[in-house]
């Protein structure tokens, strides 16, 4: 959405200047009952804007955003002679009582007021910031794409009473840039469907702003995957060391294993804390087993050499030079790309 930030800031400033005089001028009070109740569901036109995404937390299954929403509907009982819009406290007029369904702890930045035009058109604006809960499926980590949803629902109105529609006057959308460093926002959409709380068969009027984001995987490729490949390759050096040099063989294999253990402690904080294995987990687990297998191979060939079976030990080393890289290539393909 073009110049979304400037538009929101201007609206906030306008509301601050208009608020004191117009609230004081309100003497008649607003209608608390749903307007036009005998004419079917009231049409509420909605605009939503994603201003910024501060963080996506896979471990806590949440995301933190700066979000703007605007709702507009007609209430003839609030029509007045003007001039301009009047400002009413939200508790004095009927409103859809919009609630963020998946909010965790959000902070609204606009006052809880409604702007009413002379023809009875009611405008409700709010800008919120804070974390929202979102179940994430990170099995494809770090090559995953996730869907995030900010759902707004009426507190006590069914779809027969309130009908949410996209506002034809104002466009919804995204800000031009985000401060999120490790994700890319791909696309977005508005959804207008009923929300049914778990265990309830009755749906309430609802709409949602959904956006898709793809994780930047290059960070993990260069800083996690590539170093692990080098550690695994380092363990293969034992296949080129003469089996009679058992101390050198086992020393190299043990060093590779200890390096891998230290590496796993280092990258553990960057992995999502989930009760299932991700692609990265499978890759690290397979690499660990392969390094351990190289250590065992070094021990076995050293025992063979010490028992005068040097020729067989060297044959095992030659075979391992082909078998271990082949197995590792299969681990890379199956865990990261299959």
Write the pLDDT tens digit of every residue in 201-227: 678 899 999 999 999 999 899 989 999
Separation CA 136–CA 182 (nearest Å): 16
Confidence (pLDDT) at 326: 96
Separation CA 313–CA 300 (nearest Å): 8
Confidence (pLDDT) at 273: 81
Confidence (pLDDT) at 199: 65
Beta pairing class for 42-57 and 62-74: antiparallel
Reduce the DSSP state of residue 53 to 3 states and report it.
strand
- Do residues 254 and 297 make contact, with C-beta atoms less than 8 angstroms apart? no
Question: Closest by alpha carbon to 113, among 24, 204, 1?
Answer: 24
Maximum C-alpha span of the chain? 108
Domains annotated on the chain, with CATH:
4-216 (2.70.170.10), 219-337 (1.20.58.390)
Predicted TM-score (pTM) of the model is: 0.78
CB atoms within 10 A of CB 215: 20
Confidence (pLDDT) at 24: 32
Q: Which residue reads 């009875």 in tokens?
A: 120
Question: Closest by alpha carbon to 101, among 199, 196, 172?
Answer: 196
Question: Closest by alpha carbon to 303, among 235, 229, 244, 253?
Answer: 244
Confidence (pLDDT) at 60: 82
Token readout for 177 is 């840039």
Token readout for 292 is 């351990």
Separation CA 266–CA 293 (nearest Å): 22
Separation CA 216–CA 185 (nearest Å): 10
Confidence (pLDDT) at 249: 86
Confidence (pLDDT) at 145: 94
C-alpha dihedral, 323 to 324 to 329 to 330, nearest 10°: 70
Where the chain has pLDDT below 70, the residues are: 1-31, 199-201
Write the pLDDT tens digit of every residue in 19-74: 333 333 333 334 477 787 777 899 999 999 999 999 998 878 899 999 999 999 99
- Do residues 278 and 271 make contact, with C-beta atoms less than 8 angstroms apart? yes
Separation CA 74–CA 89 (nearest Å): 17
Question: Closest by alpha carbon to 136, among 284, 272, 334?
Answer: 272
Confidence (pLDDT) at 10: 41
Question: Closest by alpha carbon to 121, among 93, 151, 159?
Answer: 93
Separation CA 323–CA 331 (nearest Å): 12
């Amino acid at each position: 959405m073009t110049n979304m930030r400037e538009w929101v800031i201007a609206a906030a400033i306008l509301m601050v200047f208009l608020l004191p005089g117009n609230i004081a001028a309100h003497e008649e009070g607003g209608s608390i009952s749903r307007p036009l109740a005998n004419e079917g569901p009231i049409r509420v036109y909605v605009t939503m804007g994603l201003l910024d995404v501060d963080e996506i937390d896979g471990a806590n299954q949440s995301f933190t955003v700066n979000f703007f929403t605007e709702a507009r509907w007609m209430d003839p009982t609030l029509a007045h002679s003007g001039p301009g819009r009047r400002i009413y406290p939200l508790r004095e007029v009927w409103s859809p009582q919009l609630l963020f369904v998946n909010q965790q702890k959000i902070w609204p930045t606009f006052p809880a007021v409604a702007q009413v035009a002379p023809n009875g058109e009611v405008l409700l604006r709010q800008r919120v910031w804070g974390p929202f809960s979102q179940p994430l499926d990170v099995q494809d980590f770090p090559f995953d794409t996730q869907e995030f949803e900010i759902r707004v629902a009426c507190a006590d109105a069914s779809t027969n009473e309130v009908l949410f529609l996209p506002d034809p006057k104002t466009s919804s959308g995204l800000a031009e840039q985000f401060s999120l460093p490790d994700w890319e926002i791909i696309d977005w959409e508005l959804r207008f469907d009923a929300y049914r709380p778990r265990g309830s068969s009755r749906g309430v009027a609802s709409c949602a702003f959904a956006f898709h984001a793809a994780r930047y995987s290059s960070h993990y490729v260069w800083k996690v995957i590539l170093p692990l490949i080098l550690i695994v390759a380092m363990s293969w050096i034992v296949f080129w060391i003469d089996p009679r040099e058992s101390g050198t063989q086992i020393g190299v294999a043990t060093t590779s294993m200890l390096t891998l253990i230290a590496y796993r402690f280092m990258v553990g904080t960057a992995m999502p804390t989930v009760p299932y294995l991700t692609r990265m987990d499978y890759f690290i687990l397979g690499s660990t087993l392969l390094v351990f297998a190289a250590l065992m191979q070094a021990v076995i060939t050293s025992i063979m050499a010490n028992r005068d079976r040097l020729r067989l030990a060297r044959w095992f080393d030659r075979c391992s030079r082909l078998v271990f890289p082949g197995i590792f290539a299969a681990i890379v393909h199956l865990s990261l790309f299959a």
